[in-house]
Structure 1
Amino acid sequence: MAATEVGKQQAQPDLYLVSNEDSVYEQDILRDPTRVKPWLEYIDFKTRHGSLIERAFVMERACMTLPRSYKLWKLYLTFRVKHISKLNPATHAAEFRKVNALFEKSLILLHKMPVIWEMYLKFLMKQPLVTLTRRTFDRALRALPITQHNRIWSLYLPFANAASGETAVKIWRRYMQVHPEDAEDLIELLILRGAYTEAAKRYIDILNDTRFTSKHGKGHYELWSEMVEMLVEHAPDIDTSYENGVDVEAIIRSGIIRFSDQRGKLWVGLATYWIRRGSFERARDVFEEGITTVMTVRDFTLIFDAYAEFEESIIGALMDAATTRAGKGVENEEADLELDIRMMRFENLMDRRPFLLNDVLLRQNPNNVLEWEKRVALWGDKKAEVVQTYTDAIATINPKRAVGPFHQLWANYAKFYERGGDLRNARIIMEKAVKVPFKSVAELADMWIEWAEMELRNENFDDAVRVMAKAIQAPKRSNVDYFDETLSPQQRVHKSWKLWSFYVDLVESVSTLDEVKKVYERIFELRIATPQTVVNYANLLEEHKYYEESFKVFERGLDLFSYPVAFELWNLYLTKAVDRKIGIERLRDLFEQAVEDCPPKFAKTIYLMYGNLEEERGLARHAMRIYERATRAVADEDRADMFNFYITKSASNFGLPSTRPIYERAITALPDNEAKEMCLKFADMEKRLGEIDRARAIYGHASQFCDPRTNADFWSKWEQFEVQHGNEDTFKEMLRIKRSVQAKFNTDVNFIASQALARSLQKPEGSPGADTTDAMAALEKQSSTLHGFVASSTGPQGTTQREEVVASNPDAIDIDNLDD
């Protein structure tokens, strides 16, 4: 049924819509018309069995009878809204107005019901009635308590966004009074509408509110950056009036102060703001201020590039205009003059770039000496500017905080005048420089040396000596500690070895030997002499043939320095003393002094020199006694070499038999590994002397620390020895000793562990399960059947030892089966 029919039938008599089947429900209503339940049952019956008109009729009667019933009105309004939901609100405006009237009628008594308001508002939002809808939203907000407003605002805001324009802005302003946390949505709406000034003010409000938290998770700087980008991008549209406007420049400058890591970007943004407003001169002032105040090279590069691009764009525009005028034959001298001025400005800007960049680095650290030197180099041959730069640098740099060689800056300042031939001003600068409280004594010493070198370059040798003499002035007995930082460098510079070293070289080159000796003596008095000082002084005296005084200098140096420095001094002193061929007794005293407190690490060299002296100028037995002492005095790593040397000398001087006690003591004193080698040499010596039994005894002694599995070379040599010089009994004794030694090492826990580890890490190729003992047994079997073995009692020619033994003694032990 059409919606119009429902409306018409409502005006017809009630009896037309009441049938006999409705009598039961009508009687229930008549008995108690104030109860809702009979009406709901009646409506339910009509919903199942009645027509749309009958349903509407019953609902209408119920709502008129019980106008305060929320349930009945909700059923009726839902029914009417659903009935016309598919109709076009513009075409069937009358039907929609009827439903609107019903909503209005229900709200007379149900104006506190938010659901009714929501249904009404949703219904209105489908109709092209913006003003009525807006006013109804306002009525709903006024009628409902504030706790229910969020339900209305959830509909009102989408309606406002759809309506747009000033209506949307006004609605959002009202919404912001209760929900300021959604300010970002209002700002977005204002920007879309082009209300940039108000958007900026909203930004300022939320930025000044310390309790504001962005629902999009944006930080304070991010919100501030968005505001600045909007202000710069829409600069012409921003109201900057005093009363209602926004002070954009103040906002950006506050950010420059606050956000130090974004200064370059913000300076460019401020300049861009003025460019878009057409204030080119103010933009240029901003660029100039930016490049002369930023603190980092990154910010400077950013601003300078934008500045240069700005100037190029203006010059390009002026050149295009000039080309157009030239094409039309029109002349404009003012425009041409302005173009020339702009070109000059641009060239000047590009020329200033190195200086501006240097300014940035100096602002970062005004105590950077190298940057001041670069600034001097930038001026080239402009003397006035160079002098001014040096003056500014010296006035600015704090000597205690200087980064780089501050004294070199003073020296270069003086050299600048020196190159110009103005030696007087150069000396004045040097006099001031040596009074500067440098952060280290070394710098002050370098400053004095620079002054003396300047005098030397100009061949003023006496002045150079005078300058250095003034530099090293000190009390007769100075107790100043060179490393005492509480004293100024000027109070400590007289103990600078670098200064004295230069002074000595200078005096040595221009003065007499007596003057040089006085300087060296003064160095010793101040106790600042170094080993190099001692050597230089001694060499100087030696060159002038003052040999005894040279030796005394070495002795003074030995009193000053201990080992290991003393070893080098003794080495030189003893070498020179021996070369001078002074008395043997005096040399012996010197060597005894040298070895008296000599650490074992350095003893070997001195003892060898001592022994060599005795061999050449003394007695051989004295030399042997010295070598014997050396074997006790030297370090452990040198002891074996010392014994070998001692043995060699003893053999050459007194013959091989004299080495026996030396070998015996060496074997006792040396560790097992070196003792083994000494035993082999001892045995070889005895063999050469024909003492076979003594050699065999030595092999037996050495066998106790030679495991057959790790010292196969030792046992191989013993076997060869027995083959050449032994008999069957001695060979079997050697094998017995070999087995006992191996058994001894097999019971050594540490050795077993190390051997097990070695076998796990390294197995013979091709036989992973091979056993070391089996290999040794095979070796012994092979050794026992060596061809050509001849005992001490020789047998028949051409027979082997085994055959001879079998023939002479049937009960002899079979050597091949010793290991079975």
Structure 2
Amino acid sequence: MDTAMRVYRRYLKLEPSHAEEYIAYLKSNGKWEEAARRLADVLNDTAFTSLEGKSRHDLWLELCEIITKHPEEVGTFLKVEAIIKSGIQKYQSEVGQLWVALAEYYTRKGMFERARDVYEEGITSVMTVRDFSLVFDALTQFEEALISARMESFDDDTRAVAVVDNSQEDGDDSGEDFILKDATDDDLDLRLARLEYLIERRPELLSSVMLRQNPHNVHEWHKRAKIFSSDPHKQILCYTEAVKTVDPEKAVGKPHTLWIAFAKLYEKHGDLENMRIVFEKAATEAHLKYVDDLAAIWSQWVEMELHHKNYKKALELVRRSTAVPARQKSRGEESVLPVQERLYRSHRLWALRVDLEESLGNKNTVREAYDKAIELKIATVQMVLNYAAYLKEEKYFEDAFQVYEKGIAIFKYPHVKDIWLTYLSEFIERYGGKKLERARDLFRQACEESPPEEARPFFLQYAMFEEKHGLARNAMAIYEQAVKKVPQNQKLAVYEVYLAKASEFFGVGKIREIYEAAIEADQSHALSDGDTRTMCLRYAALEARLGEID
């Protein structure tokens, strides 16, 4: 064997590229130290090219396998831990396998505590679930193997003690064997407890892996908090770390939900003081991306105060959240400011405020809140309608009509349609035909400003108003305007109403005039071909009933 090795060494001086052949020979004959040395030399030689087509990565893994599986034979000439840890940094696809290999190296050397430390370090540093599973399973098997070995050792000790007991049955018993058995039992219990604790920690450790992949994943932070559902202290630490770690610019999910969940945790355990501290910190210091996120935090705070019947505090909070700064800036200037300085423009908070003002405030505060929302142009259509309805209930009819006017000035179609319909209905209900010209002005404005596809209900309502409170000929004129403005697919329906009313008020002469106008209308106001045919047939049927066959 020694002669063969000397011959190989001489041969490699002439042909260094055949080093792999020599390494294979050493491995087959169990010369692990020499094989490791040669592999290390090959890896240190940057000019070496494998004749077997192996990459430097393959050669490096081969070296790791030798030094971890044969630690006693290899000796100490190589820094095993440094080599493997350098590979962990370099080869990301082999991280889990390399941590296991390093731990097995120490296991084979009998350094069990050091092996356990390596496993723990691997579990707390791997970045993928695959690597985590690999290391965790290996650690579990390691602990189970130690327990099995200890139990076998315990059985052997028990049998030995039994022999001693039998031989000393009639002599003095010093009690030393009982001390030995108690110590062994404690050691075994400790190992079992360690394994059980490891298995219990698996969800937490896996959560840590997911958060190392992306510490800005809001959903994973919520999942992690649920893991500690039986330990409120750990949940508090989890949420504290979460709100400090998550960057809203990089977040996956909604970062504000972490603050809300954090506050709800304190509320759940009856600690309202700390709940308020969390909300206060979130409302004033949290770095959030969107105004709606901050508005959600304020809304939750208000709702929790209401839930605990702190009505005055809730009203103070919602007023504070919508407080308008002394010097307002343009929307362009505000776009670069923190969300806390743009919060007063939140639709959500203003809607909440006017709702609470109606329930808990007085007339003055209600009107102030609604007027400010309209002034800031952040009122919604529903808010305008609610304000007008509130004023109507309080008998401020003209003020209600002014609110409708403000809403009409703010909104465009299609949103303003509901305001117009409600305004006209309320006005007619209030005044009927007493303010005829004012009502006509409103109807004309509504009909003129409405787009063709939205105009039909306004024209019909206007015509009905004239029929009831005005002149029939005015109603006919309105129907005539309507058939010209509404889209083609609505013209026939309007003509049907027009003809019915003409028959009721004016008779056959007016009906003939309408039919002829409909049939002979120019292209811009004409019916579709199908509707024109229908009108012709109806006109003919009318004349037939009247006996005008020719």
TM bin, normalised by shorter chain, reads 0.7 to 0.9
Q: 2:91 aligns with which of 251, 259, 273?
A: 259
CA offset digits 1:352-388 (Å, max 9, x no partner): 2222222222322333334333443333454444443
Matches within 5 A, 1:127-146: none
Q: Is the 8 Å Cα contact of residues 488 and 528 (structure 2) preserved in structure 1?
A: no
Q: Specify the alignment match of 1:550 in structure 2.
A: 400
Q: Specify the alignment match of 1:308 in structure 2.
A: 140
CA offset digits 1:777-820 (Å, max 9, x no partner): xxxxxxxxxxxxxxxxxxxxxxxxxxxxxxxxxxxxxxxxxxxx
Matches within 5 A, 1:58-97: none
**1:296 maps onto 2:111 in alignment:** no
Q: Which amino acid aligns with 1:513?
A: K
Structure 1 residues 518-527 or 474-483, which shifts more?
Answer: 474-483
**Residue 214 (structure 1) shift:** 3.5
Structure 1 residues 271-280 or 303-312, which shifts more?
Answer: 271-280
Q: State the identity %.
A: 44
3-state SS of the aligned residue for 1:565? Answer: coil
Q: 2:225 aligns with which of 370, 376, 379?
A: 376
**1:568 maps onto 2:418 in alignment:** yes
Q: Is the 8 Å Cα contact of residues 88 and 95 (structure 2) preserved in structure 1?
A: yes
**1:685 maps onto 2:539 in alignment:** no
**1:508 maps onto 2:355 in alignment:** no
Q: Is the 8 Å Cα contact of residues 434 and 448 (structure 1) preserved in structure 2?
A: yes
**Residue 190 (structure 1) shift:** 2.3
Greater Rg by CA: 1
Q: Which amino acid aligns with 1:290?
A: G
3-state SS of the aligned residue for 1:434? Answer: helix
Q: Which amino acid aligns with 1:184?
A: E
Q: Structure 2 CA distance, aligned partners of 1:237 and 1:554?
A: 93
**Residue 167 (structure 1) shift:** 4.2
Q: Structure 2 CA distance, aligned partners of 1:233 and 1:407?
A: 51
Q: Structure 2 CA distance, aligned partners of 1:553 and 1:491?
A: 28
Q: Is the 8 Å Cα contact of residues 453 and 464 (structure 1) preserved in structure 2?
A: yes
CA offset digits 1:473-507 (Å, max 9, x no partner): 22356234289541101110011111111111111
CA offset digits 1:245-282 (Å, max 9, x no partner): 22222221111111223211211121122222322222
Q: Specify the alignment match of 1:599 in structure 2.
A: 451
Q: Which amino acid aligns with 2:482?
A: A
CA offset digits 1:601-632 (Å, max 9, x no partner): 11112111112222233222221111111111
- Normalised by the length of structure 2, the TM-score is 0.88
Q: Specify the alignment match of 1:790 in structure 2.
A: none
Q: 2:310 aligns with which of 456, 460, 476?
A: 460
Q: Which amino acid aligns with 2:206?
A: L
3-state SS of the aligned residue for 2:21? Answer: helix
Matches within 5 A, 1:578-589: 578-582=428-432, 583-589=435-441
Q: Specify the alignment match of 1:325 in structure 2.
A: 157
CA offset digits 1:439-459 (Å, max 9, x no partner): 221122122223222322332
Q: Is the 8 Å Cα contact of residues 291 and 300 (structure 1) preserved in structure 2?
A: yes
Q: Specify the alignment match of 2:442 in structure 1.
A: 590
Residues 482 and 426 of structure 1: CA distance in aligned 2, closer, same or farther (over 3 Å) = farther
**Residue 336 (structure 1) shift:** 3.4
Q: Structure 2 CA distance, aligned partners of 1:625 and 1:450?
A: 55
Q: Specify the alignment match of 1:534 in structure 2.
A: 384
**1:640 maps onto 2:492 in alignment:** yes
**Residue 581 (structure 1) shift:** 4.0
Q: Which amino acid aligns with 1:578?
A: I
Residues 571 and 261 of structure 1: CA distance in aligned 2, closer, same or farther (over 3 Å) = farther
3-state SS of the aligned residue for 1:692? Answer: coil
Q: Which amino acid aligns with 1:540?
A: Y
Structure 1 residues 257-266 or 502-511, which shifts more?
Answer: 257-266
Q: Structure 1 CA distance, aligned partners of 2:21 and 2:463?
A: 101
3-state SS of the aligned residue for 1:367? Answer: coil
Q: Structure 2 CA distance, aligned partners of 1:628 and 1:560?
A: 30
**1:625 maps onto 2:477 in alignment:** yes
**1:274 maps onto 2:131 in alignment:** no
3-state SS of the aligned residue for 2:342? Answer: helix
Residues 545 and 189 of structure 1: CA distance in aligned 2, closer, same or farther (over 3 Å) = same
Q: Structure 2 CA distance, aligned partners of 1:427 and 1:407?
A: 15
CA offset digits 1:664-683 (Å, max 9, x no partner): 22223224343233222222
Residues 590 and 252 of structure 1: CA distance in aligned 2, closer, same or farther (over 3 Å) = same
**Residue 510 (structure 1) shift:** 0.6
Q: Specify the alignment match of 1:353 in structure 2.
A: 202
CA offset digits 1:616-651 (Å, max 9, x no partner): 332222211111111111112222332333233323
Q: Is the 8 Å Cα contact of residues 482 and 496 (structure 1) preserved in structure 2?
A: no
Residues 325 and 525 of structure 1: CA distance in aligned 2, closer, same or farther (over 3 Å) = same
CA offset digits 1:154-200 (Å, max 9, x no partner): xxxxxxxxxxx444444443443444443333322222122223333
Matches within 5 A, 1:733-744: none
- Normalised by the length of structure 1, the TM-score is 0.60
Q: Structure 1 CA distance, aligned partners of 2:428 and 2:455?
A: 18
Q: Which amino acid aligns with 1:284?
A: R
Residues 691 and 206 of structure 1: CA distance in aligned 2, closer, same or farther (over 3 Å) = farther
Q: Structure 2 CA distance, aligned partners of 1:367 and 1:610?
A: 59
Q: Structure 1 CA distance, aligned partners of 2:230 and 2:25?
A: 62
**Residue 289 (structure 1) shift:** 0.7
Structure 1 residues 373-382 or 343-352, which shifts more?
Answer: 373-382
CA offset digits 1:332-362 (Å, max 9, x no partner): 4344333222122212222222222222223
Q: Specify the alignment match of 2:338 in structure 1.
A: 488
Residues 482 and 378 of structure 1: CA distance in aligned 2, closer, same or farther (over 3 Å) = farther
Q: Is the 8 Å Cα contact of residues 477 and 526 (structure 1) preserved in structure 2?
A: no
Q: Structure 2 CA distance, aligned partners of 1:177 and 1:559?
A: 96
Q: 1:195 aligns with which of 13, 17, 31?
A: 31
Q: Is the 8 Å Cα contact of residues 480 and 492 (structure 1) preserved in structure 2?
A: no
Matches within 5 A, 1:19-418: 165-240=1-76, 245-328=77-160, 329=162, 332-333=180-181, 334-418=183-267
Higher relative contact order (CA 8 A, sep 6+): 2
**Residue 405 (structure 1) shift:** 3.5
Q: Structure 1 CA distance, aligned partners of 2:302 and 2:21?
A: 77
Q: Specify the alignment match of 1:709 in structure 2.
A: none
Residues 394 and 566 of structure 1: CA distance in aligned 2, closer, same or farther (over 3 Å) = closer
Q: Structure 2 CA distance, aligned partners of 1:214 and 1:203?
A: 12
Q: Specify the alignment match of 1:160 in structure 2.
A: none
CA offset digits 1:524-577 (Å, max 9, x no partner): 222211212211211211222322211111110000111111222212222222
Structure 1 residues 483-492 or 416-425, which shifts more?
Answer: 416-425
Q: Is the 8 Å Cα contact of residues 69 and 105 (structure 2) preserved in structure 1?
A: yes
**Residue 318 (structure 1) shift:** 1.4
Q: Which amino acid aligns with 2:496?
A: N
- Over aligned residues, Cα RMSD in angstroms? 2.5
Residues 348 and 381 of structure 1: CA distance in aligned 2, closer, same or farther (over 3 Å) = closer
Q: Structure 2 CA distance, aligned partners of 1:498 and 1:619?
A: 47
3-state SS of the aligned residue for 2:412? Answer: coil
Q: Structure 1 CA distance, aligned partners of 2:401 and 2:40?
A: 89
Q: Structure 2 CA distance, aligned partners of 1:178 and 1:278?
A: 42
Q: Which amino acid aligns with 1:338?
A: D
Q: Which runs of 5+ in 2 are unaligned?
A: 164-176, 521-525
Structure 1 residues 680-689 or 550-559, which shifts more?
Answer: 680-689
- Count of equivalent residues: 525
**Residue 400 (structure 1) shift:** 4.2
Q: Structure 2 CA distance, aligned partners of 1:325 and 1:417?
A: 53
Q: Which runs of 5+ in 1 are unaligned?
A: 1-164, 694-820
CA offset digits 1:721-778 (Å, max 9, x no partner): xxxxxxxxxxxxxxxxxxxxxxxxxxxxxxxxxxxxxxxxxxxxxxxxxxxxxxxxxx
